[in-house]
Structure 1
């Protein structure tokens, strides 16, 4: 890949702080990580609905949806997975600069990649949410039939089966979707954000 060298950063006329003032809330990333079938997208979208209801501008970036457009050129090799997360990190930073809350629902299996995204943002702008659910339960749910295909060897490098998932070392929040309802998980996230005075 050829890298551009003749480029200069152009300062925006509206700062992140001004956009936050207009929106009347902080801007940050809620990074939902977990195995396929753990409930990342379901919880992220339910939290987004709740944030909308209380006047918090937000947007959900979903793993599958992003691979239909921005990242449709990427496969599932370790290198491509890293690039997938790097790009999402940069897009998330743009949303934060725009004064919004961005909720990302990506397996993002590697700790180093999640830490890379964290490093792009200020300390109070990244909230790692570990959507914890046992592999056996995720396989039982198997909403997309992916685990069955992975067990049959039809999907190589599938996280949790033939490719590793590195659980977050120190996530800001752990929600257990096999122990709690979606509503309870949403309330847990909202309560955490209110306690942090992020919303």
Structure 2
């Protein structure tokens, strides 16, 4: 029997002022993307708030649903997808991820890049990413092709519309069964 491996993509809407502003422009239901290597979303990474109470300090983050930003927004809505990959793909993605983890204090949030997406003009800086750009970059550097565009132009909605991704769950983040189990 062949072992199946998956990587998980979490798209969220916390309802913050920042996401409401982005939503007004994008008309997309979710405006934040994260990547995880387990269905319980224990090991989850993105570019976002470094401190839950400070939206101005952003960068590479290991997200924690119970102590991080999501803990401040219990009504966060989400959709979760998974992509079937090989164990070799997982190894490559984790190698890419380890570069981010080892250098996490050198990375900044690419706010200008978010604006670049809106005019379809990639704005890239060597150590600066926005959430969906980061997730797309992990796939790209691992040789997994999900789009015919640069990671700097990938939006959370591009994940939602990608037919290679398999739907797992949509609803309130804290109602997702593997998370609900951990609350009890």
**What range describes the TM-score normalised by the shorter chain of this pair?**
under 0.3
Structure-2-length-normalised TM-score: 0.26
Greater helix proportion: 1
Structure-1-length-normalised TM-score: 0.25
Greater strand proportion: 2
Q: Which one scores higher on RCO, CA 8 angstroms, separation ≥ 6?
A: 1
Q: Which has the larger radius of gyration?
A: 1
